[in-house]
Amino acid sequence: MESGFLELFFRGPFGWLAAGLWGLVWGSFFNVLIVRAPGRESLVKPASHCRSCKAPIPWYDNIPVLSYLVLRGRCRACGARFSPRYLLVELLVAGLTLTMYYAFFISDPPGARPVGLLLARFVIVSLFVGVLVAITFIDLESMKIPDVITYPAIPVCMGLSLFMGHPRLWDGLVGGVAGYLVIVVVAEGYRLITRRDGMGYGDAKLLAMIGGLMGWRVLLPVLFLASLQGSVIGISYLMIARAIQKKKEGPLRHAKLPFGPFISLAAVEVLLLGDLLRVFFPYFYVGSWAA
């Protein structure tokens, strides 16, 4: 009886509303992570404050999305403009959270699996995707993926992989180790051949985090999609940027681009497109995580 009530509640409008609010709240937290993690600042102290005048931000000015729109992206105390990234991250995390809610809860046939298990998977993947969003924005800005995020995330993801329905209990452990080693081998091989730095070890730790939660079978499709999209988007962006600036800064192959955002994008795509990717990677990928 209780299970049926929970099923009805979470599949209705209140479930969608709860999932959306969950995403907005965590989107606000990931904004803090993006700002403070690169400098290894505390996520708790000091409380939210304006980075320009240091004035504390009261709770009513810290409501996700709404406060930014009401204040028009400015500090109430000094009028300094806040980056549009704050609004973008909150909306992006909320949108991805709702997408994961559909993929990992709503799309599952009613009564096929315990509601608690489906909710646990949704919570796991929603936070996982939020961390990927934070890593993406940090890497785009600083060309670095902070160890303060990936080091604790790797073992946590390996542990949470037990809830993800892998064929074997050790798939997450193998995925984490293999994800790290494959990037290290590629990076060292590139350095040995070209005498230049390619991918950094931050990418290796990111892929270890992904493999730790999603299992070793996703590594090939994630790397394939990341490389493909990184090549197309990255080269197009560099060509357009150089055309606008009318400057030449050496061959495009020597230009530096963060690879973390493309790895993160590919991981989200693999989460959502498991059944489609299974056609192209029948051995390395086992299908939808919600299945």
> Is residue 40 domain-resident?
yes
Q: Which of 112, 127, 158 is the last residue of a domain?
A: 112
Q: Which two tokens stand for residue 203?
A: 């990418």
CA distance 135 to 141: 10
> Is residue 125 domain-resident?
no
**Helix or strand or coil: residue 143?**
coil
Q: Which two tokens stand for residue 27?
A: 């989107």
Are 14 and 68 part of one and the same domain? Answer: yes
**Residue 112 has what pLDDT?**
75
Are 76 and 172 part of one and the same domain? Answer: no
Name the burial class of residue 201, with classes exposed (0-12), middle (13-18) and buried (19+) by CB atoms within 10 angstroms of its CB: middle
CA distance 43 to 149: 12
**Residue 196 has what pLDDT?**
67
> Is residue 124 domain-resident?
no
Q: Which of 89, 112, 135 is the last residue of a domain?
A: 112
**Residue 195 has what pLDDT?**
67
> Is residue 127 domain-resident?
no
Closest to 122 (Cα-Cα) out of 92, 149, 98, 148: 98
> Is residue 121 domain-resident?
no
**Residue 139 has what pLDDT?**
95
Q: CB within 8 A of 163, min separation 6: which ones?
A: 117, 120, 121, 124
> Is residue 169 domain-resident?
yes
The answer to whether the peptide bond before residue 109 is cis (omega within 30 degrees of 0) is: no
Point out the residues of the chain with pLDDT beneath 50.
1, 286-291
Are 9 and 106 part of one and the same domain? Answer: yes
Are 106 and 203 part of one and the same domain? Answer: no
Closest to 89 (Cα-Cα) out of 171, 26, 167, 2: 26
Closest to 225 (Cα-Cα) out of 274, 186, 178: 274
Are 221 and 85 part of one and the same domain? Answer: no
pTM across the whole model: 0.89
**Residue 236 has what pLDDT?**
81
Count Cβ atoms below 10 Å from residue 261 Cβ, excluding itself: 23
Are 21 and 164 part of one and the same domain? Answer: no
Q: Which of 72, 97, 112 is the last residue of a domain?
A: 112
Q: CB within 8 A of 42, min separation 6: which ones?
A: 36
Are 169 and 290 part of one and the same domain? Answer: yes
CA distance 157 to 153: 6
Are 150 and 289 part of one and the same domain? Answer: yes
* Torsion angle defined by CA atoms of residues 76, 82, 85 and 87, in that order, rounded to the nearest 10 degrees: 20
Closest to 239 (Cα-Cα) out of 226, 228, 251: 251
**Residue 92 has what pLDDT?**
97
Report H helices in the chain.
Answer: 2-10, 13-36, 66-70, 85-101, 115-142, 147-160, 171-194, 201-214, 219-245, 260-272, 274-280
Are 155 and 208 part of one and the same domain? Answer: yes
Are 288 and 147 part of one and the same domain? Answer: yes
Domain boundaries, position 219: 143-291
Q: Rounded to an integer, what is the distance from CA 182 to the centroid of its chain?
A: 20
Are 166 and 250 part of one and the same domain? Answer: yes
Backbone angles phi, psi at 46, to 5 degrees: -70, 165
> Is residue 73 domain-resident?
yes
Total number of domains constituting the chain: 2
Residue 215 and residue 178 in contact, taking contact as beta carbons nearer than 8 Å: no
> Is residue 135 domain-resident?
no
**Residues in the chain, how many?**
291
**Helix or strand or coil: residue 81?**
strand
**Residue 289 has what pLDDT?**
47
Are 195 and 284 part of one and the same domain? Answer: yes
Q: CB within 8 A of 104, min separation 6: which ones?
A: 118, 121, 122, 125, 289, 290
**Residue 17 has what pLDDT?**
95
